[in-house]
Structure 1
Amino acid sequence: MASPILPGKGLGSGLDTAGIVKALVDAERLPKQNQLDRQTKSNTASISAIGSLKSALAAYKTALEKLNDKNAPAFLGYSATTSDEKTVKATATNSAVGGIYSVTVNRLATASKVASQRFGDSSAPISAGTLNITQGTGSSIPVEIKPGATLQSVRDSINNQAGASGIMANIINDGSGSRLVLTSTTTGEKSDISVSGIPELAIDGTTQMTAGGGAGYISAMAEDAEFVVDGMTLTSKSNKVENAVSGLTFELVAKSATPTTITVGSNTEGLKKSVQGFVDAYNALVKTINTVSMASKDPSGKPGDPPALSGDPAVRSMLSALRNELVSPAAGGSGQLKVLSQLGINTVQETGLLEFDSSKFTNAIDKQKLGGEVQNLFNGDGGMLDRMTKAMEPFLGGSGTTGVLDARTKVLESAKNSLSIQQSALDSRVKSMTDSLTKKYNNMDTLVGKLNAQRDSIVSIFEAMAAQQKNS
């Protein structure tokens, strides 16, 4: 119920009753309201600061994961370039040796591709039973075919039940009818597919299919890749060749009539880019930490208001954990590269940020020949990136555990709800007090008005009596 509206001046008393009520209510409300405003401002700032920290840590973790990608190593000491990536691609590892290699691709590794006998169409009925798919000398993959099956439903059953093993099925119409065609992701000689168990779908993967409708391999049996490295002819069951040349992985792309030149050398620029990426990611995190925990200074050098997490023990603990990993020596190994400072990476004491001396880094790679050890320093077991990730776990959480920051956020959200309840209670109390005082002062004003009217009436009577006596 809304409070009665007081006039600016009491009609009966002439007093500023609205001002009196407001002053009395404010005297009761303002101390608590100011306290709630301060607590709400602090709570909101803390929630925002914790959110910024969580986002910065998550971004840093993502950057580390990218640099620590096993499928795309970021800290390789050597690089391999190819004169023709349309025929051969090459990747060097840290065990590579600088040099030039000549590679000619005579034949690519191929997979088995077989076809069933010809059927009238894809809706042709197929007998129920267990279809056994065998690849080379491996074990059979059983595929259950239910009653009422058609060529199309058999295709779907194979893809559902054998797809995880690299076997794929489809239906191809050769102009005279439909055939079930099976292919595999496995390449190389003696990986040919054979099918048994259901007579009308039987396929001998070592016999070529016939134009008359017989089953078999389509154009050729599976073959190994054949390639020549510096005059030596080699074979591989896969087009990804990892052991032909120590420290190099070849990806055979296409048959070539002329040799492709592979050049292996120091990956100085690539390493520099990756190290700079690490430095940038770390500095971005530290800048966020500094923003929420360190007071900035005005142009005169005077510190400003302390930020939300100034002096917070959790923030100090987090920063300390990360900094400790920067100076910890590489775990294990007998190499010369042990700490980041050898690569020109040092901490600026005033800010905690990292600075990267590009000249010192280049000298370490080109003259001290430390390029082959950078990968182990960052990506090795117990390397920098692994240790940094583990240092963040108590704060970010993971694997079913709640991190420190999430726990803090939960406490702050609870406090926020409590402050909201207190604000509602204060608003309710203020409204009730305003209504009560308004009613009392309205009643007082009405009573004073009546008394004034009675006074005026009595005065008038006496004045009339005095005038009558004077005239008599």
Structure 2
Amino acid sequence: MLMTGLGSGIDYEAMISAIISAERAPKDNQLNRQEGMNTAEMDALKEIQSTLNSFRDKVEDLNSSRELQKLKAVLSNEDVLAASVDSNAVAGEYSFEVTQMAQAQRDQLFKVTEGTTFTSGSISFGSVNIDIAALNTQLIDEQNTKKADHQAQVYKDVAEKHNIDMTVPGWETDAHKALTDSTDSRFDQARFDSYTNQQQSYTDKVTRLTNDGVTVEELQTAINNDPANDGVKATLVRSGDGISMVLNGKDTGVANAIGAITVSGMSLKGNTLDQAQPENGQKSLQAAQDAIVKYGSMELTSTTNKMENVIDGITLNLKATGTVNVKVERDEASVNSTIKEFVDTYNKVIETVNTYTKSSEEEAAALSGDSATRSLVSRLRAVIGDEYTTSTFSTLSELGITTTRKGTLEIDQKKLDKALEDNFDEVSKLFLGDGATRGVMDSMLTVLDDYHKNGGAFDRRIDQLEYNNKRIADDREQLDARMEAKTITLRDYYAKMDSKIANMNQTQSMLIGMLA
């Protein structure tokens, strides 16, 4: 209830508002200032945490021989094969002769005129035996079942739409009448047309199967979907004068050969190609065979055209027969790029830290003077500037990697290139260690693990700051409640005062009237 000041003419509500504002302003300012500081600190820590996470992920990726001991394969003939190498490979030259490519068995079963149908006969291979007459009977049964199921479903849909009780015997007769009788008020021409068209399609297919037999596509589906088929695929190959059914082994290599294939007793309709001609009958198109590669006097075989670890660390992907020299050498360019990635992600961390710790003339940075952030930078710099005993290079500076005044890293590219060219393995050892002693990457991970993602030092601080802001929100709600109670008290106080002033004014007016 607002104070109107009718008795005194005084604007008590304005007075109350001024009193409340003056009383809450110091606490409001304190809460807002603290909340703003907490939020700014949280945002800064989150940004630094994000860059640290990225840096740690990069260091973890690079802390492996596959990244810092990279080798590459240089081929004399890329048309013959492709080669990939890993850290287990030994630098040197290797000569290979691909004498035979792996291939899958491929056989033509028959070639017929497009549109030919089959009434009898059989196709057998492995555990698969397709009897065409039995297949025909199966397909007819399937169509009759589909036709009956479709009719039952449509009757049910009609019954549900027109509230026909399907628990009452003979409900199907009523549903049939609603579906087919054009004089019935429930009749729907579009629904009836759809129903009859679908039913007719089932009837037409049964008629075709009964009179003409199965199509080449139905025969193909039967072969591919046979439960005994372990992966052999029938495909249809169309040419100018007909269509061939081709059987393809499931994979390359002798071990995956289809084996013996029998096509017998085929009775055809609509075919105009002479089945007695060799090009139209069963024939081998391609025999199953293994890949063969000669390495010196050795003969290497594989069921596929990919030979993994044919020699330790070397994998070959065969393309064609022929001879090729594979030179395995150090991939200096890739390692150079990997080291640059390490420097770039490290610099991103330092630059982000600098953004939130370096104050300007206009305002103080969110983490200015923050001891935890200073400690982080100090520990990172210690790893960068430390001396290591795992390599002939004891410091990163010997590779040309040095720290600038801003704390970021820079690379003397010429110095790094020379180090990689002259002592490739020693560069890797400096970063990765030698198996017994830790290198730069392991030391860096030790530091970063203290700040990594959930549960790290910064993550715990972020959680605490979020909790503090929730407490501030609670304090603000409590302040609102106190100020509301104070407002009610002041209104009550001034209401009584206003009443007394009104009485006094009334008495004054009466006395003045008596003296007049």
| Fold equivalence (TM over 0.5) | yes
Corresponding residue of 1:354: 409
Query: Could you say which residue in structure 2 is the equivalent of 1:201?
Result: none
Write the distance in 2 (CA, Å) between the matches of 1:11 and 1:118: 107
Residue 307 of structure 1 aligns to a residue whose secondary structure is: coil
Higher-Rg structure is: 2
TM-superposed CA distance for 1:277, in Å, is 0.9
Correspondence for 1:28 among 23, 27, 50: 23
State yes or no: 1:384 paired with 2:440.
yes
| Alpha-carbon displacement from aligned partner over 1:345-404 (angstroms, at most 9, x marks no partner) | 1122x32211111121122223xx122333343345544334433422222257xxx322
Name the TM-score, length of structure 2 as normaliser. 0.62
Deviation at 1:228, TM superposition (A): 4.0
Aligned to 1:296: 359
Q: For 2:440 and 2:35, how far apart are their aligned partners in 1? A: 40
Consecutive unaligned residues of structure 2, counting only runs of 5 or more, are 107-124, 139-222, 237-244, 265-284
Aligned partner of residue 337 in structure 1, secondary structure:
coil
Amino acid at match of 1:392: L
Mapped partners of 2:348, 2:355: distance in 1: 11
User: 1:106 aligned to 2:93?
Assistant: no
Partner of 1:211: 262
Q: Which residue of 2 aligns with 1:227?
A: 293
Q: 1:79 aligns to what? A: 72
Percent identical pairs in the alignment equals 27
TM-score by length of 1: 0.67
Aligned pairs for 1:375-454 (under 5 A) are: 375-379=428-432, 381=435, 382-396=438-452, 402-454=455-507
Evaluate the alpha carbon distance shift between residue 88 and residue 46 of structure 1 in structure 2; reply closer, same or farther with a 3 A threshold: same
Between 1 and 2, higher relative CO (CA 8 Å, sep ≥ 6) is seen in 2
- 125, 129, 153: which one aligns with 1:118: 129
Q: CA deviation at 1:25?
A: 1.4
SS of 1:235's equivalent in the other structure is: strand
Q: Which residue of 2 aligns with 1:321?
A: 379
8 Å CA contact 1:106, 1:256 repeated in 2: yes
C-alpha separation between the residues in 1 aligned to 2:336 and 2:45? 33
Counterpart amino acid of residue 35 in structure 2? T
Q: In proportion to residue count, which structure has more helix?
A: 2
Shift in alpha-carbon separation, 1:96–1:171, aligned structure 2, 3 A: closer
Mind listing any 5+ residue stretches in structure 1 that lack a counterpart?
Answer: 125-149, 159-168, 194-204, 299-303, 464-472
CA contact (8 A) 2:89 2:314 kept: no
Q: Is the 1:378–1:385 contact (alpha carbons within 8 Å) kept by the matching residues of 2?
A: yes
1:322·1:391 contact (CA, 8 Å) conserved in 2?
yes
In the alignment, the residues of structure 1 paired with residue 503 and residue 247 of structure 2 have an alpha-carbon distance, to the nearest angstrom, of 107
- 1: CA distance between counterparts of 2:476 and 2:105? 74
Contact 1:226 1:233 in 2 (8 A): no
Alignment of 1:12-91 (within 5 A): 12-68=7-63, 73-76=66-69, 78-91=71-84
User: Could you tell me which amino acid in structure 1 is paired with residue 393 of structure 2?
Assistant: L
Runs of 4+ in 1 over 6 A off after TM superposition: 94-99, 110-114, 178-182
Against the structure 1 CA distance between its residues 240 and 341, is the aligned structure 2 distance closer, same or farther, given a 3 Å change threshold? farther
Q: Secondary structure at the match of 1:118?
A: strand
Deviation by residue 1:73-123 (Cα, 9 ceiling, x = unmatched): 3334543333554532234556867766554322345789995332456x9
Cα distance in 2 for partners of 1:210, 1:95 equals 45
Once residues 99 and 423 of structure 2 are traced to their aligned partners in structure 1, the CA distance between those partners, rounded to angstroms, is: 37
Q: What pairs up with 1:168-317 in 2 under 5 angstroms?
A: 169-170=230-231, 172-173=233-234, 192=255, 208-212=259-263, 223=290, 225-228=291-294, 234-237=299-302, 239-242=306-309, 244=311, 249-257=314-322, 259-292=323-356, 294-298=357-361, 305-317=363-375
The structure-2 alpha-carbon separation of the partners of 1:90 and 1:172, relative to structure 1 and needing over 3 Å to count, comes to closer
Q: Post-superposition shift, 1:66?
A: 4.3
Contact map agreement 1:208 1:220 (CA 8 A) in 2: no
Counterparts of 1:159-170 in structure 2 under 5 Å? Answer: 169-170=230-231
Q: Give the CA deviation at 1:40.
A: 0.8
Q: Which residue of 2 aligns with 1:372?
A: 425
For residue 314 of structure 2, give the secondary structure of its aligned residue in structure 1: strand
* Aligned CA-pair RMSD: 4.1
1:242 alignment partner, SS class? strand
Change (3 A) 1:40 1:151: same
